[in-house]
Amino acid sequence: MHAEQLAELLAPLKQFAMSIVYPVNVTSASYQTPGPEAIRTFRNMLFERGISNSVRAERGDDIAAACGQLRTHFEQRKQAST
With bands split at pLDDT 50, 70 and 90, how would you rate the model's confidence at 12? Answer: very high
What are the pLDDT digits (tens) for 22-62?
777 666 566 677 889 999 999 999 999 999 999 887 666 66
Q: What is the DSSP letter of 4?
A: H
Dihedral angle of Cα 66, 29, 22, 55, to the nearest 10 degrees: 90
The predicted structure's pLDDT at residue 7: 94
CA distances from 63 to 22, 26, 35, 47, 80 (A): 18, 12, 20, 33, 21
